[in-house]
């Protein structure tokens, strides 16, 4: 039999080895935990032979989800809708106004002095269209950037992200300016419906004229369209109206149908812009309210 002291020494050696193994296992577990969830100390990334590490794939997926969570989807949809609506309104409206002047000169006003004022107004509106397109292109980009800023501030509820008084003031200014532009575009939308109504009346008269039998010549001459009643040319303008055969000639031109459909598309573009500004207004108002709420130190006790 071995002496008692040798047996005790062997037991002490085995216990110390077990403690070393347990401590090394704990260090390995802590190192893997820091590697999975991020750590300020550099860790060695484990590799797997013949395949990619599944932990690396998960970290990339979580990063993508975090990035997608900071995207202001409401502002993004409103920007796309605003750009589309303004482009349709400005592009189609510009061409339709040019076609309207041509139709008036050829069929309703033989004297250039009678529609000189209308021509100047239409030219001015075409230049205004250029300015509207440029302004809303820049304004849409600014609102989208502001949406990214405020969305990031709203998402970081418990981090060190701090909003300044200047940032909140700028967000409030965008809320007010978007509200004013929304009201203004409501007026533009209503104004763009006027030429659609005028062309629709002409088109309806053309359809009635086409539906008459061939031998109803007298009845056809009684179907007329008087542009002077809309106030775009004076009452002393000649001929001022088109009846029968003259109205049929107008209806058979491609310029008339092209202008008619372009005015419809321009009106739809104005309506889309109104909807986009409404979405902008709701998004900016919500973000501004959350930013103002977060700026209060006692926000948790006064909610």
Question: Would you state the structure tokens that stand for residue 67, as one six-digit string?
Answer: 């990035």
Q: Residue 94 phi/psi, 5° resolution?
A: -65, -45
E strands, the chain, in order:
224-226, 241-243
CA angle 130, 198, 256 (to 5 degrees): 75
Going residue by residue through the chain (303 aa), what tens digit of pLDDT does each one get?
A: 445 444 444 555 555 556 655 555 555 655 554 544 444 444 444 444 444 444 444 567 676 666 666 667 778 888 899 999 999 999 999 999 888 888 888 888 878 777 788 888 888 888 888 888 889 889 888 888 877 776 665 555 444 445 566 666 777 788 888 889 999 999 999 999 999 998 998 888 888 887 776 666 566 677 888 888 888 888 887 787 888 888 888 888 888 889 999 999 999 999 999 999 998 888 888 777 777 766 655 444 333
**How confident is the model at residue 186, as a pLDDT?**
92
- Asked if 140 and 147 count as a contact pair (C-beta separation under 8 A), the reply is no
| The predicted structure's pLDDT at residue 175 | 84
The helix/strand/coil state of 227 is helix
How is residue 14 written in tokens?
């085995």
């Amino acid at each position: 039999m071995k002496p008692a002291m040798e047996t005790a020494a062997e037991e002490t050696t085995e216990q110390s080895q077990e403690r070393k193994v347990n401590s090394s296992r704990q260090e390995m577990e802590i190192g893997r935990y820091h590697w999975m969830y991020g750590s300020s100390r550099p860790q060695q990334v484990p590799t797997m032979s013949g395949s990619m590490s599944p932990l690396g794939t998960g970290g990339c997926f979580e990063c993508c989800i975090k990035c997608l969570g900071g995207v202001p989807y409401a502002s993004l949809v409103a920007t796309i809708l605003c750009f589309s609506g303004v482009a349709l309104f400005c592009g189609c409206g510009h061409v339709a106004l040019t076609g309207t002047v041509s139709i008036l000169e050829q069929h309703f006003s033989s004297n250039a002095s009678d529609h000189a004022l209308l021509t100047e107004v239409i030219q001015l509106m075409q230049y205004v269209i250029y300015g509207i397109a440029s302004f809303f292109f820049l304004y849409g980009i600014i609102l989208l950037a502001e949406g990214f800023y405020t969305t990031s501030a709203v998402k970081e509820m418990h981090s060190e992200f701090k909003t300044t008084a200047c940032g909140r003031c700028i967000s409030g200014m965008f809320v007010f300016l978007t509200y004013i532009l929304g009201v203004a575009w409501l007026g533009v939308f209503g104004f763009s419906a006027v030429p659609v109504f005028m062309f629709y009346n002409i088109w309806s008269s053309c359809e009635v004229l086409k539906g008459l039998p061939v031998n109803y010549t007298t009845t056809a001459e009684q179907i007329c369209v008087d542009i002077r009643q809309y106030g775009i040319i004076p009452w002393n303008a000649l001929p001022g109206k088109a009846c029968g055969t003259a109205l049929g000639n107008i209806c058979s031109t491609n310029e008339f149908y092209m202008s008619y459909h372009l005015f419809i598309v321009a009106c739809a573009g104005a309506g889309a812009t109104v909807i986009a500004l409404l979405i902008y207004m709701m998004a900016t108002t919500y973000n501004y309210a959350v930013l103002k709420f977060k700026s209060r130190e006692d926000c948790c006790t006064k909610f």
